[in-house]
């Protein structure tokens, strides 16, 4: 009998696992209307009943706290940490628990359930996240739902959920401006006409960067349609185009001496850095079908396609106006996928109630890595990308002309069953992942690699089980253990690397038992094998990755809030909100044993104090702390920074202040005036060290107005 292909094996596995539940569903005599579930969302509107740690940032919370960037918004989520590489957070740097934040390589990022990492199976960094202004909710899962979603499911998963149509028309216009030449514009309209709902949004933001040569800007266009065909069928589609143009940006930063001399100046280098640039054009298209087979059975399917075009160019130290040569890293990512899930509720067998979920996903990825070079005096940018095929030594060109392409094909399937009896619920589950990576060196003059094609195949079984007890008053206790993994980056000279796998466990409690008080705390312990770490950069500034060693991660997430209006009948509500994380992430074997995993500070947290009034105004202030961290696996303590690819050192911790205020005018037109500021003390601090020191964002204050009608 011929061997089954990976796709056939996954299809057969999912079908076999679903059959018992389908059979039970036919015999159910007590129909239950399930809450809405589709492939676009990870959690319902509330986290109660989630079998693990989870946090939601709602539209209301984002409107109240008015964070300057998405990175700032995550200050309010325990266990999530961010590292800025630009003032707008466009170079996504998000980590959860023990995951190094740089480029969000260890966190699965989803938008309405669609993966938006560059390529989860080839090069999992991120250069796009959706603007907060068009989001309905940000869902953060930490050890909850890792069987249902993958890959990159060791530490946590984030889903950005876009606004949905409303029954009555809603329009929002938001304008803002501030120092650092900050400009913000957001326009949104949503409505429903008959069976068709629609959402249209445009968002734009621009600002000066961290350094004196940097200017950042983006424009985002989003449209969605939702057609309720009948009571059983719903079709939904959405399209996104995101355009970034950042001038003066590069990843080569300052030496220690230069930082001490002029910490925000690259003009002092006299290297024409103002000509350096990075561009992002991101396209995403989703088509979703929801099918309510019965009151108890729902099938949700999706096809999606994404494209990320990310060219970056920099000078070699001489302005192209003076005959200088520019070179670049020109990367393009394409993803095509299909996802189908079935949710079956109200099943009864063996004296227990069951809820069965199963799904199947197929993805195909393509990634082209070009290293073009310009001619003397030629200015390279997204509309003029230079000559990929320039050979070393010709006309002074030193770029190697490398043109490498990567492909991946992945199939995954999962099944989990929630068994409930009384106040207890236990959810065992199993995920299967199989994928192939291909690396083809199309053009690399003078190298024996030219024309070669390498392949790597991996298959993984990822079991998990979670427990939830809700027998206490307004309190839930949860615990779980699951196996997760991260595919190794294919963009490495050591291809192929070994996937990073982990055994991840936690126990936690969330409670509203005390009036006016909410609490969510979780202890976690992860054992990571073949930890994937960014080790250094090559002579062209490309990050190199290695399987460093095994590592252990343990720690505590703590979130709490108290509101005074629960105790006093007053138009004033005084509130305090806490988000803390303690994490120890250390290598556990080999010569690195005992060293801390880079980019993971031990302590991170924020405390927000505020007051809001029934008349429509609110005021709050936040102090946030980000602890010290190492930038290299050797844990070099002293700042050994010369502006080269071998720079290292311990980045000191910092404590920053931010605040915001808003007032809803008592007018017929719903109008809100707002003001927000970050780094209010204008503290000079080091955000990160990579090819030199990059300082954090300076003080920024933005005011604006929001109209809703």
Identify the residue with better confidence: 536 or 6.
Answer: 536
User: Would you state the pLDDT for residue 37?
Assistant: 45
**Across the chain, what does the average pLDDT equal?**
89
Is residue 494's pLDDT more than 90?
no
What is the tens place of the pLDDT at every residue in 76-109? 999 999 999 999 999 999 999 999 999 999 999 9
Q: With beta carbons less than 8 A apart as the criterion, state whether 705 and 672 touch.
A: yes
Residues 310, 322: Cα–Cα separation, whole Å = 27
Distances (CA, A) of 184 to 70, 78, 664: 14, 28, 19
Burial class (CB in 10 A: 0-12, 13-18, 19+), 568: exposed
pTM (2 decimals)? 0.91
User: Would you state the pLDDT for residue 546?
Assistant: 67
Residues 191, 5: Cα–Cα separation, whole Å = 46
Is residue 181's pLDDT more than 90?
yes
What is the tens place of the pLDDT at every residue in 142-154? 987 789 999 999 9
User: Would you state the pLDDT for residue 400?
Assistant: 52
Identify the residue with better confidence: 161 or 450.
Answer: 161
Q: Which domains does the chain have, with CATH numbers?
A: 6-708 (2.40.170.20)
Range scoring the smallest mean pLDDT among 427-436, 597-606, 639-648: 639-648
Residues 372, 311: Cα–Cα separation, whole Å = 10
Q: With beta carbons less than 8 A apart as the criterion, state whether 358 and 13 touch.
A: no
Residues 6+ apart with CB under 8 A from 317: 271, 272, 324
Q: With beta carbons less than 8 A apart as the criterion, state whether 307 and 360 touch.
A: no
In the predicted model, what is the mean pLDDT of residues 354-383? 93
């Amino acid at each position: 009998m011929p061997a089954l292909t990976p796709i056939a094996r996954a299809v057969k596995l999912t079908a076999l696992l679903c059959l018992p539940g389908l059979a039970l569903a036919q015999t159910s005599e007590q129909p239950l209307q399930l809450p809405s579930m589709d492939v676009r969302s990870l959690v319902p509107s509330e986290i109660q009943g989630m079998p693990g740690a989870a946090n939601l940032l709602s539209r209301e919370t984002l409107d109240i706290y008015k964070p300057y960037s998405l990175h700032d918004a995550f200050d309010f989520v325990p266990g999530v940490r961010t590292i800025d590489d630009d003032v707008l957070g466009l170079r996504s740097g998000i980590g959860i628990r023990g995951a190094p934040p740089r480029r969000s390589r260890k966190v699965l990022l989803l938008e309405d359930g669609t993966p938006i990492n560059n390529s989860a199976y080839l090069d999992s960094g991120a250069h796009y996240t959706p603007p907060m202004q068009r989001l309905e909710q940000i869902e953060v899962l930490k050890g909850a739902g890792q069987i249902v979603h993958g890959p990159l499911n060791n530490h946590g998963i984030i889903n950005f959920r876009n606004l949905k149509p409303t029954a009555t028309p809603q329009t929002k216009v938001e304008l803002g401006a501030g120092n650092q030449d900050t400009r913000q514009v957001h326009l949104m309209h949503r409505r429903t006409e008959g069976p068709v709902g629609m959402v249209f949004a445009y968002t734009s933001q621009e600002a000066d960067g961290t350094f004196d040569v940097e200017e950042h800007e983006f424009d985002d266009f989003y449209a969605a349609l939702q057609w309720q065909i009948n009571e059983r069928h719903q079709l939904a589609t959405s399209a996104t185009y995101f355009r970034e143009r950042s001038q003066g940006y590069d990843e080569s930063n300052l030496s220690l001496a230069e930082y001490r001399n002029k910490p925000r100046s690259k003009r002092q280098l006299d290297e024409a850095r103002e000509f350096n640039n990075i561009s992002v054009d991101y396209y995403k298209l989703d088509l979703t079908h929801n099918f309510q087979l019965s009151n108890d059975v729902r099938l949700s399917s999706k096809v999606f396609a994404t494209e990320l075009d990310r060219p970056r160019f920099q000078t070699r130290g001489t302005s192209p106006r003076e005959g200088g040569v520019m070179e670049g890293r020109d990367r393009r990512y394409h993803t095509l996928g299909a996802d189908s899930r079935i949710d079956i509720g109200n099943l009864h067998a063996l004296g227990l109630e069951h809820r069965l979920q199963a799904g199947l996903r197929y993805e195909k990825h393509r990634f082209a890595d070009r290293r073009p070079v310009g001619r003397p005096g030629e200015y390279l940018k997204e509309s003029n990308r230079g000559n990929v095929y320039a050979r070393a030594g010709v006309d002074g060109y030193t770029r190697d002309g490398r043109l490498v392409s990567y492909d991946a094909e992945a199939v995954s399937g999962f099944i989990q069953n929630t068994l409930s009896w009384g106040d207890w619920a236990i959810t065992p589950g199993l995920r299967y992942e199989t994928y192939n990576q291909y690396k083809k060196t199309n053009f690399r003059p003078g190298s024996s690699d030219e024309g070669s094609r390498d392949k790597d195949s991996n298959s993984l079984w990822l079991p998990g089980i979670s427990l939830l007890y809700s027998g206490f008053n307004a309190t839930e206790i949860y615990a779980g253990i699951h196996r997760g993994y991260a595919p190794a980056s294919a963009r490495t000279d050591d291809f192929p690397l070994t996937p990073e796998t982990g055994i991840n466990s936690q126990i936690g409690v969330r409670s509203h038992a005390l009036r006016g008080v909410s609490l969510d705390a979780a202890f976690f312990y992860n054992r990571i094998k073949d930890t994937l770490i960014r080790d250094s950069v090559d002579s062209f500034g490309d990050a190199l990755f290695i399987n460093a060693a095994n590592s252990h991660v343990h720690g505590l997430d703590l979130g709490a809030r108290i509101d005074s209006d629960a105790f006093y009948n007053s138009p004033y509500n005084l509130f305090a909100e806490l988000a803390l994380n303690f994490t120890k992430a250390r290598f556990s074997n080999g010569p690195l044993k005992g060293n801390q995993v880079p980019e993971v500070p031990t302590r991170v947290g924020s405390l927000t104090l505020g007051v809001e009034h029934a008349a429509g105004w609110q005021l709050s202030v936040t102090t946030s702390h980000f602890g010290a961290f190492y930038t290299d696996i050797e844990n070099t303590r002293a700042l050994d920074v010369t502006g080269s690819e071998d720079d290292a050192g311990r980045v000191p911790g910092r404590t920053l202040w931010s605040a915001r205020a808003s007032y809803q005018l008592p007018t017929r037109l719903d109008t809100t005036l707002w003001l927000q500021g970050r780094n209010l003390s204008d503290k000079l601090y080091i955000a990160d060290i990579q090819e030199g020191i990059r300082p954090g964002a300076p003080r920024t204050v933005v005011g604006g107005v929001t109209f809703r009608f």
